[in-house]
Amino acid sequence: MSSNLPSRRRTLLAAGAAALSLTLSACASTNTGSGMPAMSGMPASTMPTATAPPSATASMAGMAAMAGGTGLASSSNGYTFASATAALPAGQPAGYRFTITGPDGKPVTDYTVDQTKKLHFYAIRSDLTGFQHVHPTMAADGTWTAQLAAPAPGDWRLFAAFTPATGAGKGTDVVLSRTVTVPGMANTAALPPAATSTTVDGYTATVSGDLMAGMAHPLTVTISRDGKPVTDLQPYLDTYAHLTAFHEGDQAFAHLHPTTAVSGDHGGPTLTFHAELPASGNWRLFLQFQTVGTLHTAQLTLHVS
Ligand SMILES: [Cu+2]
């Protein structure tokens, strides 16, 4: 099903996602059919034992199954997201240093550019607030530094998404994460109820598409302002909108790839995405789009059955 979609350019390092989609639904056709390794073949070291949040409701089997495809593990298929930082200061910007090591144990320095960047970095607090999407800089030795805006106290998960350009994982999309703590009194928020539209900076984004766990479906986003269709979206990271999602409870990650072609500063009002969310439940969507040189981030809760 998904193999004929042009947006599905590369094979996600998604042994876990594939395994989960098989257990959650009969729709096995979501597998990309490109020889993903069986879950049982994954080394035990890739399991997210130490990083699984206590609030996660999924069983350990479920957690393990999701780890490869949704970024919940710090290591997967030989790649490791390593950092000496376990805590960040509250209320002040921070530079978070890390490396990605490859199957040879050395820091990876050669990446394939995806959506104009070698590495995409996301931060989200355990209650799915505080979303940050930044692009770290890399030193010649492979040490990355992500400049993060002041985080609120609480437990955070940091994601690195990249594609090695050489080595054993060449051309494979990899998403890994680590957790950090920000000390202080964490005022966590209840997840807002599921909705089909949200407004940010005067722009209203309306989402449609009946998503089912583990199945590939189109998701359509329509953007309006004062009731009128918006048609002046500017390219941002080679798209008219960048859409990421995090799963309630375990912060599993998904990047929904756009299927709308980009040409000039006149995107909108309708954008389509290739959506394949691996688990049922609530997902917090973060839609980033740009108009007149300003980046907007709309967010809403989407329920997946
Ligand atoms: Cu990015």
pLDDT of residue 97: 98
Whichever domain contains 286, its CATH number is 2.60.40.1930
Q: Residues 73-107: pLDDT tens digits?
A: 999 989 999 999 999 999 999 999 999 999 999 99
* Gap from CA of 268 to ligand 1 centroid (Å): 20
* Gap from CA of 136 to ligand 1 centroid (Å): 9
Do 95 and 152 have their domain in common? Answer: yes
CB distance 283 to 305 below 8 Å? no
Domain boundary among 126, 147, 182: 182
Do 252 and 293 have their domain in common? Answer: yes
* Gap from CA of 120 to ligand 1 centroid (Å): 4
What one-character DSSP code corresponds to residue 19? H
Range of the domain at 25: 7-69
Residue at 202 is within a domain: yes
* Gap from CA of 55 to ligand 1 centroid (Å): 28
Specify the pTM.
Answer: 0.79
pLDDT of residue 130: 97
CB distance 139 to 259 below 8 Å? no
Element counts in the chain: helices (H) and strands (E):
2, 18
Q: Residues 24-50: pLDDT tens digits?
A: 333 333 333 333 333 333 343 433 434
Q: Which two tokens stand for residue 92?
A: 């002040």
Residue at 187 is within a domain: no
* Gap from CA of 7 to ligand 1 centroid (Å): 16
Do 46 and 79 have their domain in common? Answer: no
pLDDT of residue 12: 41
* DSSP H or E segment with residue 134: strand 132-134
Do 213 and 169 have their domain in common? Answer: no
* Gap from CA of 119 to ligand 1 centroid (Å): 7
Residues 6 or more apart in contact with residue 40 via CB below 8 angstroms: none
Residue at 2 is within a domain: no
CB distance 73 to 82 below 8 Å? no
The percentage of the chain sitting over the pLDDT mark of 70, rounded to a whole number, equals 78
Q: What is the dihedral of CA 255, 198, 260, 305, to 10 degrees?
A: 50
Do 120 and 148 have their domain in common? Answer: yes
Q: Which residue has the higher pLDDT, 122 or 211?
A: 122
* Gap from CA of 61 to ligand 1 centroid (Å): 30
pLDDT of residue 21: 33
Domain boundary among 41, 69, 97: 69
Residue at 190 is within a domain: no
pLDDT (mean) for 188-195:
96
Whichever domain contains 124, its CATH number is 2.60.40.10
pLDDT of residue 29: 32
pLDDT (mean) for 165-183:
96
Domain boundary among 158, 182, 206: 182
Total domains in the fold of the chain: 3
Which of 40-54, 142-156, 164-178 is least confident? 40-54
Q: Residues 247-279: pLDDT tens digits?
A: 999 999 999 988 888 989 989 999 999 988 999
Residue at 112 is within a domain: yes
Residue at 1 is within a domain: no
What one-character DSSP code corresponds to residue 39? G
